[in-house]
Structures are given as C-alpha cells and as structure tokens.
Amino acid sequence: MSFKRVIPVFILCLALPLTIRAQTDSEKSAPCGDVDLNAATDSPFRKIAVEDQDGTGTCYAYAASSIANYWHLKNGGSPETGAHPMYLSHLYSKTRNRQHTEGGNTYSSLQLLREQGNCPNQKVEQLLKNWSIQGLSYAEVLSLIETANKESRSNSGLAIRSWIDNKLSERGTNSEETATCSMNQSVSSLLRSLPTLSSNQLLQDLFNLCKPPQPMNPGLPDLKLTLDGTDTDLNRVLENSLNQGLPPNINLCSKMFRDPGYRGLKPGPERSIQNEKECGNHAVVLTGIKRLKGECRYLIRNSWGADWRATNQDCACYRRDGKYEEICSDYSEAKEVVGCWFPRHQVLRNTYSASSI
C-alpha cells in the first residue's frame, strides 16, 4: 500500500459519552481472542501513565508515545529514556512546517521517531518545568494557544475567557472569582502575543534545547500500516498484533462514542469514511481482546486522563493496592483506569486505519 494515502488523514480528538448496542447472534458466536496486555505484573503499561491531552488535538502523539514506550520498556528500556507525546507532536508538526499541532497521524509520528531520533522523557520533563505557565499543564498551554488562534484578534479575548471558564468548571473550583483572576494573570503574557504565537513554534523553541536527538535504544522496528480490508481482515491484523504482545493503534470515528448505531465507514473493503465532518477522527490504542459478558470486546486505552471511564461500559483499572482488575469493581479504589471494553463490531465498523510495530 502506498504511504501517501495516510498523509491527508488528520485525526481530530473528541471526548464524548460512550454507549453500546446489542450484538446479533452471528457476532456473538464469532471467534474471539483472549489477550490483555495490562494484566501481567511486569507489564510495561504499569510504568506508562494514562495521560490527559487536556483539550488539544494531539491524540495521535499520545497514541504514538504509548506504543513506542511499550516497545521500549518491553525490550529493556527505561521510562526516563522513552518518548514524550509533546516531542512526537513537535516532530510531526515541524516536518510538515505547519502553524499548529492540532490533528495528525500516529503512524507518521512513529516513523519520524524512528528516522529522526528522540528527546528522552527525562529531558523533556526538565524542559517543560521551565516552560509551563503556572497552574496550567503543558497540554493546557497548547490547548489555550490553539483555541485563541482560531479566532480573530477582536474575538480572542472572548475565546480565552470561555476557555478559562471551561477549565475552572472541569476542576470544580470552590472560589471561581479568585481562580478566574489567577488564571487570567497566568495567561496574560500569551494574550499579548496572540495571534502571532503558534503552538508549533512554541514546541520548536522548546525542543531546540534538546539537540541532537538520540536514537531510542532499542530502536523501533519497521511499522505496519493497514488502510484496506474487510472487518474480518482488520480484526485478524489487530488480534495478531495483540497475540504477539504488541498494542496496535487504531484511528476511528469518535461519533460512535455517543451514537452506538453509528457506522462511520462506507460499505466495502476500502475503509473510507462516509462523512468527514461528522466522523470525529480520533486515535487510540488497543491493549486487549476477549469475550466478556457474552460478547467479544476490545480494550481501548485513551488519552483522557487516569480517572476517565466510559458511560455504560466496563473498564479496567489498576487498584491502589497494586492489583489489576479487567473489570474494575470499585472505581473509588482505582489508582488508574487504564481503558474500557468496547464491542468488537462497534469498533470495526468505525475504524478506518490501523498501525502497529
């Protein structure tokens, strides 16, 4: 397959409610694998945090870093020398010479990491401490810039205020007036530079302090890209990857999260999207497949934070006592929710591409 086909597919990340629908009898009886890459006591995922993209359009980079770091740790690497999602977003945006980091491709990000080298996690975290605005995470700073630059100069102030209000609401602050004032002060320097400041330029300035890039050791192997095939073909690719102990990336229509009957793909093996505007391109990682409660499900690892779980879905977690539960029994005892189990048929009919190591 031609590599050219993947370049125009930009993945825009949405966080939406999640539901399911009942399966047909044939779907219930179809063969199903039995893999969960989170379960082993020495699983690399125990050392890879479930991160939060904080409203940015960089889900592709978070998916890429999860896959790269899993391989890295599985083959003797350390968390300190792994890959950071902000660095992968930087590689992708810089190579394409674009203004912002919003929207991208996991497969291409991993290829660039192989070809151009890595700025190790430990170094990235040191740089981010000097770069972040007080009170905001590095991802929130990118989200702030992306939000403001979508507006004209006259509207940027309103966009920022709306952004601040949303952040305060998410945090459930008890003193909104004080918090609003504090956050307004935190972003004032950015407001003065808007709309000329771009998220891509911000990352370029940051990672100019991390030269030369270092090859990951052990390095990533050749990547596999799947763009075509029936649902049966795609399931075989994904299950083979999981059976080899490797988590694949899938790019899917996130509208399926709020509409369980949604079918994002056109009929046929081309796996082409029916409606680009309503699809809601999104990148996630699969970490398991098994039959649970009478249906075959994939375990999807997302980048919406360690306490995120899907409405009406069973989710897996690491408990505070260190135990792993494939279906979390008490979320108040969960240290980290590591993913949720989605019906296989629902995932396949909305997945338009996949990549794996």
The string over 83-104, giving b where at least 16 C-beta atoms fall within 10 Å of a residue's C-beta and e elsewhere, is bbbbbbbbbbbbeeeeebbbbb
Do 150 and 192 lie in one domain? The reply is yes
Do 308 and 263 lie in one domain? The reply is yes
244 in a structural domain: yes
Do 247 and 328 lie in one domain? The reply is yes
Do 150 and 250 lie in one domain? The reply is no
Cis before 221 (ω within 30): no
pLDDT digits (tens, 9 = 90+) for 198-214: 788 888 888 888 888 88
Do 175 and 231 lie in one domain? The reply is no
User: Per the structure block, which two tokens stand in for 80?
Assistant: 């300190």
315 in a structural domain: yes
CB contact set of 126 (below 8 Å; sequence gap of 6+)? none
pLDDT digits (tens, 9 = 90+) for 221-243: 989 999 999 999 999 999 999 99
In this predicted structure, the answer to whether residue 197 has a pLDDT above a threshold of 80 is: no
Containing structural domain, residue 300:
3-54+227-356
* Rounded average pLDDT over 141-168: 64
* pTM summary value: 0.85
Mean pLDDT lowest among 7-16, 127-136, 147-156, 338-347:
7-16
Q: What is the reported pLDDT for 24?
A: 46
Do 187 and 239 lie in one domain? The reply is no
pLDDT digits (tens, 9 = 90+) for 51-83: 998 888 899 999 999 999 999 999 999 999 999
Q: What is the reported pLDDT for 199?
A: 81
212 in a structural domain: no
Do 170 and 198 lie in one domain? The reply is yes
In this predicted structure, the answer to whether residue 306 has a pLDDT above a threshold of 60 is: yes
Q: Collapsing DSSP states into helix, strand and coil, what is residue 16? A: coil
219 in a structural domain: no
Q: Collapsing DSSP states into helix, strand and coil, what is residue 8? A: coil
In whole numbers, what is the pLDDT of the chain averaged over residues? Answer: 83
The string over 175-194, giving b where at least 16 C-beta atoms fall within 10 Å of a residue's C-beta and e elsewhere, is eeeebbeebeebbeebeeeb
pLDDT digits (tens, 9 = 90+) for 263-290: 999 999 999 999 999 999 999 999 999 9
167 in a structural domain: yes
**Maximum Cα–Cα distance across the chain:** 60
* Rounded average pLDDT over 20-35: 64
136 in a structural domain: yes
pLDDT digits (tens, 9 = 90+) for 90-119: 999 999 988 888 899 999 999 999 999 999
260 in a structural domain: yes
296 in a structural domain: yes
Q: What is the reported pLDDT for 41?
A: 96
DSSP state of 24: P
CA dihedral of 25, 31, 32, 34, whole degrees rounded to 10: 140
Do 175 and 244 lie in one domain? The reply is no
Do 178 and 247 lie in one domain? The reply is no
In this predicted structure, the answer to whether residue 28 has a pLDDT above a threshold of 70 is: no
Do 29 and 134 lie in one domain? The reply is no
How many percent of the chain have pLDDT more than 70? 76
Report the number of distinct structural domains present in the chain.
2
Do 174 and 238 lie in one domain? The reply is no
- Choose one of 178, 207, 236: the last residue of a domain: 207
